Amino acid sequence: MKKEGFVNVIMLLLSFFMLYMVGKLPEPNATQELGPGFYPKLIIYMIIVFNVLQLVMLFLTKVKASDEASEFQFSRFFIMIAIMTGYVLSLSYIDYKIGTFLLIFSLMLLLGVKSYKLLLSVSVISVGTIYLLFEVLLNVHI
């Protein structure tokens, strides 16, 4: 079993323990529709589903012979940290929509995405989703 598989098994065990603990929360009363345990159970079930999917994918994929691509690249890591730090520091000077667009675009470019259609579409859709979620739905002005 691969190293990732052990992490998934540990996460599954932890998730089942947390599900057991959340089951001890009080049930909803007549005035509550969902109750205090609904959201934690939802998150835990999602974690379980994604961990099971990851385990299935690990067992179905073949082991790659080259480990060169899996080596940790310190320079790329420090460049990413610098880009994110620059993003946070620039938020007081530029709008978050422009900054977030540039952040997503530059990080994807650094990670090796070569299709400019994909770079632009993911960046625009991400900024649009953040705008709709916070500004329109939650009425939180960023």
Task: Give the per-residue pLDDT at 1.
Answer: 55
pLDDT over threshold 90, residue 24: no
CA 57 to chain centre: 18
pLDDT in tens, 97-138: 999 999 999 999 999 889 999 999 999 999 999 999 888 888
Task: Give the per-residue pLDDT at 89.
Answer: 93
Mean pLDDT of all residues in 64-85: 76
Q: Could you tell me which of 76, 77, 102 has the C-alpha nearest to residue 87?
A: 102
